[in-house]
Structure 1
């Protein structure tokens, strides 16, 4: 495949990963907040309560960067880099999650939705490029 088409696929995959993941992650978090075991938003114990949102400041930007990095790692043929993303995110959030345990549910749900989306888009981008890793 030509380098131009590969470049377009990579650009498309990165944009779709970041933008589409924002929508998908938000939808998954809203659906999770409606489950029977989620509590209510008014008790600050569910994933949409005030405590989890206040405790997890910067989540939108972290999620955007996480999806960009994971999709790029998949396209570069280096999925092991995802472990670094998980480690940095977990270690960076640990103090907040320890202080606000009610935020951990929102953190886990959002992280899994975000990373899953990014990996799927990265795999799809590789498939469109015929399985070739970026730079080969």
Structure 2
């Protein structure tokens, strides 16, 4: 294969999967959060055995504003960290995100904390999967 074509194809794969990982992660995270906040049937016991209602993972979105933009930047940073071989970048991203949100999470309900944790895990896993796929595809040629 022509070296210039190979480089162009690798760049296209990296850019395409970076865009997919960054932008399609938002609907995926929202889907995961909806599934995690699924209503229990009437009379069903909660995880601690009680009948109380869920604190509302979806309702906590008003308390954690800016989550969409933070998620986009988080996925892009995780994707770039993995592809560049800087695995410590993932720790930096998660530490900055956790420290920045700490005051909000401490002052709110457990629904906000659950939303933060579930959303972060889903977001990072999706970005990591896209980076792994890009790494694998670019290594094929």
Aligned residue in 2 for 1:108? 117
Number of aligned positions between the proteins: 126
Q: Which of 5, 9, 13 is the aligned partner of 2:9?
A: 5
1:80-129 deviation digits (Å, cap 9, x = unpaired)? 21000000000000000001032100110100000000001001100001
> Relative to structure 1, is the Cα distance of residues 35 and 80 closer, same or farther in structure 2, using a 3 angstrom cutoff?
farther
Secondary structure of the structure 2 residue equivalent to 1:78: coil
Aligned residue in 1 for 2:63? 55
Instruction: Give the distance between the partners of 1:27 and 1:72, measured in 2 at CA.
Output: 24
> Relative to structure 1, is the Cα distance of residues 92 and 30 closer, same or farther in structure 2, using a 3 angstrom cutoff?
same
Q: CA deviation at 1:24?
A: 1.0
User: Unpaired segments of 5 or more residues in structure 1?
Assistant: none
Q: Which of 71, 81, 90 is the aligned partner of 1:73?
A: 81
Structure number, greater radius of gyration: 2
Instruction: Give the distance between the partners of 2:9 and 2:86, measured in 1 at CA.
Output: 21
Over the aligned positions, Cα root-mean-square deviation in angstroms equals 2.0
Runs of 4 or more off by more than 4 Å in structure 1?
A: none
Instruction: Give the distance between the partners of 2:125 and 2:39, measured in 1 at CA.
Output: 20
User: Unpaired segments of 5 or more residues in structure 2?
Assistant: 41-45, 48-52
> Relative to structure 1, is the Cα distance of residues 96 and 131 closer, same or farther in structure 2, using a 3 angstrom cutoff?
farther
Instruction: Give the distance between the partners of 1:48 and 1:59, measured in 2 at CA.
Output: 12
Secondary structure of the structure 2 residue equivalent to 1:88: helix
Instruction: Give the distance between the partners of 1:111 and 1:128, measured in 2 at CA.
Output: 26
